[in-house]
Chain A
């Protein structure tokens, strides 16, 4: 009996020791303290991240500046691996495949990406050139990742998600920051930022950064020759023009030399040309935003930007200019409606031509080399408070007209219920479209060549077959109707949990069935006509948890499961790429001493099925591990050591659909010194 009591006593004491960081006792203790004591007591805010619940009626996740730093990620796509439900795969050192809820690929087309309000999604092939997108990572305030449709608010192509990369105001980046480092894969990098004040109401910063990234290993063995370098510079100015008006002007310029191991199909023996080639990309942007605040519940913003990029590589030359004007107005009506409406206009001009390869052949052609296109759109959204502090209904839609698919309506309805401040339930239904790209309507390519085959009774044989994907001017938008529901809770004061389930119903997805073959005496041309004949559904769940186990030890664990089921008109099992079914990530962030950080990060990615011009391949599942240690010996100085992909010497993450030889990503190690003054 006595033993039982002792055990029970120990058990309860132990439970208390491991219990949550804030409890009723602590609240009472604080309430019993005098003002003097309250101003002297040491406070801690570590539990806040574990407890705070997102109030968005959507599958939203925020990657903070601190998360990026502690992950050791050196690029935007690598930082996106921190978010649950995103599939980020490195094709080689300078190419990524990034997608949410399936359909991943180098030219993944259902994820919209914005950097400080500027659209990084290109009309050329409908997708994002991740190697062109960069910011001073230390100046990122946060990356908002919204999985699922965001078209009602952000416009077309936000079919399976929206990524908002938001940099800090220049008022928050005053002073100088110098970073330098290097290692095995991150061979050398450096950046310098300086922030200053111009008078009372204006702050500004300027930065320059550069890096040299090393090559990986070909899946077939040998160096991949995918090393690359980049130099980028930029500025941001924030000015309070009056009590009610604020102006932001910012811009960036970059240029990059990209090396790659490419293969191109050929109509003459050996029917494939493999070569080391280069891409030269450069570009820049300038953005201005004026914000006027009428009252706490009413403001408008007027934003314009100009963006240009040029990409010159062996098979293709591409240049694009984009001019965009956007207006948004927010106000409340009748006390229970918060309305946001806006309108925008975008003008684009491009120039795309196929280049000839070193042997004089060409693999890529665009019927119309240069196009001016326009996009006009307007949206309205009403967030209604049905029960104060408890129940909100948000309905909205965007209406737009573009030169590729004409008129598009993209409505959404979302409901959020907060029965208690520790619980949030939400559900939504929305429609979004992915508008056609330039290439899908006007391009054609030599996708693959089937070498000639000798039949067993000579001299008969099958000549070479040229497989040619053909653009289709009548190609329309792809469409999704998405149903989502989610639950968030902080069931204990040091743990939070976020679960989302979704069901997506897709129509008119891209598919390239065989057209009518022709024979010219030397080879057979087998066209693949781009059509909207693929349909299907995906469903899955995404889970994100944070556990602040101790004051100095936080766990972040994410898991996602995805099922993809596609069918052609009449055919049940089309040959399409299928994204990994499962992702898991476990991150531990420890600060055993205030000047020391230790981080570890395990990731598991399920196998994925890729379809490309080298044929169909299943990329094996992999587990990888990143480690980071940082030490701040003096105020303003941080030394860190980061190991990336430590679990294996090299591993394959994704196979590019075309051009890039299968490349395994190497283990990497780098050191960094960061000095702010």
Chain B
């Protein structure tokens, strides 16, 4: 019996490895987006008026998959502060947020979110090519299975936020 198990286990193992092989270099998109968002926060400085104390409140608008991915960056250190993930079930109470991550919203609603947040010191990060073009700050676009960064610099500056030049160099700048 044992001999039989030993006979087929290695072949099953190699089959498993073979089938799994394309995954070795590819990472799950939401996981990468969450890790990128954490890094973007680390490259951002808020003005004093943002009132950041012990935690940076990172609000997330997204489904269960998005929420689960962002749970992995909860309480990660950012400078002297810790990141605090807040899942928003309604598009209100934005004043508690220092960062707002929007996974997916209808365009008409998204535009009104930007109107509401105008000039507030709140970093907005979202998915898709249009996010930064339409008035968001940092857009994360999937182009041929790689994430591209888009940063809308005028909006960032209007809100008195500062994004490090190291990050700006990696991004496509919109608006200047």
Contact = CB atoms under 8 A, between A and B. Distances in A.
B12, B40, B68: most-surrounded residue (chain A CB, <10 A): B68
Given A43-B147, A48-B65, A550 B19 contact: yes
Interface in B1-32: 2, 5-6, 9-10, 12-13, 16-17, 19-20, 22-23, 25-32
A31 B31 CA distance: 9
Please indicate which of the listed interface residues B20, B35, B89, B112 has the most CB atoms of chain A within 10 Å of its own CB.
Answer: B35
A31 B76 contact: yes
B64 A490 contact: yes
A44 B26 contact: yes
Nearest to A169: B107
Contacts, number: 170
A299 B64 contact: no
Contacts of A231: none
Interface stretch (A18-26, A277-285, A621-629): A18-26
A38 B29 contact: no
Contacts of B142: 43, 45
Contact of A421 (B26, B71, B108): B71
Contacts of A42: 25-27, 145-146
B52 interface: no
A172 to B, nearest CB: 11
Instruction: State the main secondary structure of chain B at its contact with A.
Output: helix
A26 B12 CA distance: 23
Given A38-B36, A51-B65, 14 more contacts: A10-B13, A17-B16, A21-B28, A30-B35, A35-B39, A35-B43, A41-B146, A44-B29, A52-B65, A244-B112, A293-B108, A295-B116, A296-B92, A385-B90
24 contacts: A7-B6, A14-B9, A14-B16, A18-B16, A21-B23, A26-B28, A27-B34, A30-B27, A31-B73, A35-B166, A35-B167, A38-B35, A39-B146, A42-B25, A43-B32, A43-B142, A43-B145, A44-B28, A45-B28, A293-B108, A295-B115, A335-B92, A418-B64, A550-B19
Interface of A: 3-4, 6-7, 10-11, 13-14, 17-18, 21-22, 24, 26-27, 29-31, 33-36, 38-45, 47-48, 51-53, 55, 243-244, 246, 291, 293-297, 299, 332, 335, 338, 385, 388-389, 418, 421-422, 424, 490, 550-552
9 nearest A-B pairs in the assembled complex, by CB-CB distance: A17-B16, A296-B91, A10-B9, A30-B35, A45-B29, A27-B72, A22-B28, A43-B29, A293-B108
Interface of B: 2, 5-6, 9-10, 12-13, 16-17, 19-20, 22-23, 25-32, 34-36, 38-40, 43, 63-65, 67-69, 71-73, 76, 87, 89-93, 108-109, 111-113, 115-116, 142, 145-149, 166-167, 170
